[in-house]
Amino acid sequence: MARRYPIRKIKSHRAYTFEEVADELGCSIQTVRTWSKQGLSIIDDKKPYLALGGDLKNFHAERVAARKFSLGDTGFLCTSCKTVRQPLGAMADYIPLNDRRGYLEALCCACERRMCRFVQARDLNVFSAKLEIAVSAK
Ligand SMILES: [Zn+2]
């Protein structure tokens, strides 16, 4: 998983040197240089190079948005494939944690490793419409 940075420490209307960005966010200067190569806009007509706080905030907001994904109705996050996968054979086991919550356990359709997804018990009928669900005892 990509690292999270305390981007709220950055002020929108301030210009930062790469060293100041690294200090504020707790990363290395090389990380800030890498961001500038990846699309962070910088003021580079003279040294020291500067990054505007607003640009930094936008750059990070786009990176966070790019990492978001939706599981959809019956998707599971496979931690081996690092993507959303459907359960093998459209089958899953429901393991209740209490009366209201539990988790679905299934095998990945691509790598056949175990995947889990937490669900509310009241939402089980949504899953059972599309998956064959075996309910385990508590
Ligand atoms: Zn997988």
CATH of residue 38's domain is 1.10.10.10
Ligand 1 centroid, distance to 131 Cα (angstroms):
18
State phi, psi for 47 to the nearest 5 degrees.
-90, 150
**Model confidence over 89-135: pLDDT tens digits?**
999 999 999 999 999 999 999 999 999 999 999 999 889 899 999 98
Tokens of 124: 């089980």
pLDDT score recorded for residue 138: 62
Q: Are residues 46 and 93 in the same domain?
A: no
Q: Is there a cis peptide before residue 96, judged by omega within 30 degrees of 0?
A: no
Ligand 1 centroid, distance to 63 Cα (angstroms):
24
Residues 6+ apart with CB under 8 A from 2: 63, 67
Instruction: Quote the pTM value.
Output: 0.61
CB of 56 closer than 8 Å to CB of 40: yes
Say if residue 1's pLDDT is above 60: no
Question: How far is the C-alpha of 46 from the C-alpha of 36, rounded, in Å?
Answer: 15
Enclosing domain of residue 27: 7-67
Ligand 1 centroid, distance to 4 Cα (angstroms):
25
Ligand 1 centroid, distance to 41 Cα (angstroms):
36
